[in-house]
A and B are shown apart, each in its own frame.
Chain A
């Protein structure tokens, strides 16, 4: 059994992510310095900062794609430094991730890309098509079911990536520069999807360098610059 510590704030909201004095080094040069952060359940959080500030590294630490050099990260009260390797897939099923470059599997159809998440989690065969149709309806791309990603526009591919991240009903959705490769309209559509998921109870964390985007959604903003985090709107 994993040790799980659940904390709540004064208004009774669960601390879904807690970051304590986190440092991350790649070689001798530190990328992140003494990061401290608490994210509440169903919060919408922006991590703002220029390219190379450490935003991607920070997100990768949250879904245990990387390990901290020093400090602790708790997700749902589970200390990621103590989680055994075999339990990482279970953690990741609670975290959906959206990347700037979409990261869809080219030779899988849209349906197969999304269904893979549910297949990997061992959902029942009857449930999978139903749920895939549901998320595709949500992102407005039901008709692309049998298309391959290369046939879709960048905006459509990113909406498919959001559908894939959301299909497993994760508690947390992490997005790393999700609009970096999109035009303004496509960006708006993707942000509408985030807002919808937020309304459904998902905690959303978006890393971006685009200052325009920050004004689109009412959300808390933390900024990251050269590995140092500054919390602008306190809890």
Chain B
């Protein structure tokens, strides 16, 4: 495009903004609102993922040893388990240590244990896993393997909780994807209709342009540029609102000190902010593309 056309396109773009300011505000607001929803999902999703990671760090397998296993057998078993794939560390808790720990946990009610003639608690191995293996499938497989040793009486690893949590995460990921796509498609649809209204308001002018020999690209250019600006402004609006809501939310949950000590609710990363800006621009571009194509065809 030569300089004359560029100047003309910019002039027409300015005129369009002045001629239909409310339609442009509506388009910007629509993009902003939809990106606000998308941004909320991104924040929720990334923070839940962080929370999962925090919880996953606590995943351990406890293997209870049968009574009567000798020290030598126990040492050999500990060595064998520590060599299994995914095992980071194996620590031993004797029957006496288990009872002491129980007394400490029961605090003032520990006197209940005084009546015991024998120690009913089993000795155990606490098996810590390498980070990459701390998922439902690997923990289940490893637990089965350990349970097969004849010296082991039982294995425990918060099975039900892990299954439920994995199911929830899979559902949340799928729901995020579906909701994200629906929000995206809806925004493009609303955006193209809003742009369509702008085009309809200027149809006489656009018809005259076509009659005097203006090319489609000359006619379309100001709409594309103005809609890209709307996309960017809408994204910035959404990010600003998200940041404000995030700060209010953080202030509200500060009271939950214990939770915040292990898990910090974080805002969008710089990359995610760029992605949100890009989504806004893509929505605006697609909206323009669809409505202009329909308009110029007619």
Binding site for B on A (CB under 8 A): 63, 65, 86, 89-93, 97, 103-105, 107-108, 116-125, 128, 164, 168
Known: A105-B205, A107-B19, A120-B209. A125 touches B214 (CB 8 A): no
Contact in complex: A93, B211 (CB < 8 Å): no
Chain A residue with the shortest CB-CB distance to B15: A107
Instruction: Tell which of B4, B8, B209 touches A124, judged by Cβ atoms closer than 8 Å.
Output: B4
In the bound complex, residues from chain B placing their C-beta under 8 Å from that of A164 are: 212
Contact in complex: B15, A92 (CB < 8 Å): no
In the bound complex, residues from chain A placing their C-beta under 8 Å from that of B213 are: 89-93, 117, 120-121, 168
Interface centre among B1, B2, B4, B15 (most CB of A within 10 A): B4
B17 to chain A, nearest CB (A): 13
Q: How far is the CA of A91 from the CA of B8 in the complex (A)?
A: 21
Contact in complex: B211, A119 (CB < 8 Å): no
In the bound complex, residues from chain A placing their C-beta under 8 Å from that of B212 are: 92-93, 116-117, 120, 164, 168
B68 close to A (CB within 8 Å): no
Chain A residue with the shortest CB-CB distance to B1: A122
B254 close to A (CB within 8 Å): no
Contact in complex: A89, B215 (CB < 8 Å): yes
A179 to chain B, nearest CB (A): 20
In the bound complex, residues from chain A placing their C-beta under 8 Å from that of B15 are: 107
In the bound complex, residues from chain A placing their C-beta under 8 Å from that of B214 are: 89, 116, 120
In the bound complex, residues from chain A placing their C-beta under 8 Å from that of B209 are: 116, 120
In the bound complex, residues from chain A placing their C-beta under 8 Å from that of B2 are: 122, 124
B157 close to A (CB within 8 Å): no
Q: Which of chain B's residues 213-240 have a Cβ closer than 8 Å to chain A?
A: 213-216, 218
Known: A119-B4, A119-B8. A105 touches B208 (CB 8 A): yes
B258 close to A (CB within 8 Å): no
B187 to chain A, nearest CB (A): 30
In the bound complex, residues from chain A placing their C-beta under 8 Å from that of B19 are: 107
In the bound complex, residues from chain B placing their C-beta under 8 Å from that of A116 are: 8, 208-209, 212, 214
Provide the B124-157 mask, 1 if CB < 8 A to any CB of A, else 0.
0000000000000000000000000000000000
Looking at chain B, what size class is its interface with the partner chain?
Answer: 20 to 34
In the bound complex, residues from chain A placing their C-beta under 8 Å from that of B211 are: 63, 65, 92, 97, 103
What are 27 A-B interface contacts by the 8 Å CB criterion? A65-B211, A86-B215, A86-B216, A92-B210, A93-B212, A97-B211, A103-B204, A103-B208, A103-B211, A104-B208, A105-B204, A105-B208, A107-B19, A108-B205, A116-B208, A116-B214, A117-B213, A119-B5, A120-B8, A120-B213, A120-B218, A121-B213, A124-B2, A124-B4, A125-B3, A125-B4, A128-B4
B251 close to A (CB within 8 Å): no
B112 close to A (CB within 8 Å): no
In the bound complex, residues from chain B placing their C-beta under 8 Å from that of A117 are: 212-213
B6 to chain A, nearest CB (A): 10
A88 to chain B, nearest CB (A): 8
Chain B residue with the shortest CB-CB distance to A99: B211
A97 to chain B, nearest CB (A): 6
In the bound complex, residues from chain A placing their C-beta under 8 Å from that of B3 are: 125
Interface centre among A91, A97, A125, A168 (most CB of B within 10 A): A125
Chain B residue with the shortest CB-CB distance to A128: B4
Q: Which of chain B's residues 178-204 have a Cβ closer than 8 Å to chain A?
A: 204
Chain B residue with the shortest CB-CB distance to A94: B213
Shortest Cβ-Cβ A-B pairs, 10 listed: A120-B214, A93-B213, A119-B8, A92-B213, A117-B212, A89-B215, A89-B213, A125-B4, A105-B205, A122-B2
Q: How far is the CA of A125 from the CA of B4 in the complex (A)?
A: 5
Contact in complex: B4, A122 (CB < 8 Å): yes
B7 close to A (CB within 8 Å): yes
Q: How far is the CA of A11 from the CA of B100 in the complex (A)?
A: 122
Other 5 A-B pairs with CB < 8 A, given A120-B214, A122-B2: A93-B212, A107-B205, A119-B7, A122-B1, A125-B3
Q: How far is the CA of A100 from the CA of B145 in the complex (A)?
A: 91
Q: How far is the CA of A119 from the CA of B214 in the complex (A)?
A: 8
B132 to chain A, nearest CB (A): 56
Q: How far is the CA of A118 from the CA of B1 in the complex (A)?
A: 14
Chain A residue with the shortest CB-CB distance to B9: A119
Q: How far is the CA of A122 from the CA of B8 in the complex (A)?
A: 10
Q: How far is the CA of A104 from the CA of B5 in the complex (A)?
A: 20
In the bound complex, residues from chain B placing their C-beta under 8 Å from that of A118 are: 4
In the bound complex, residues from chain B placing their C-beta under 8 Å from that of A63 are: 211
B195 to chain A, nearest CB (A): 19
Q: How far is the CA of A104 from the CA of B213 in the complex (A)?
A: 15
In the bound complex, residues from chain B placing their C-beta under 8 Å from that of A121 are: 213
In the bound complex, residues from chain A placing their C-beta under 8 Å from that of B210 are: 89, 92
In the bound complex, residues from chain B placing their C-beta under 8 Å from that of A120 are: 5, 8, 209, 212-215, 218
Interface centre among B3, B5, B8, B19 (most CB of A within 10 A): B8
Provide the B1-33 mask, 1 if CB < 8 A to any CB of A, else 0.
111110110000001000100000000000000
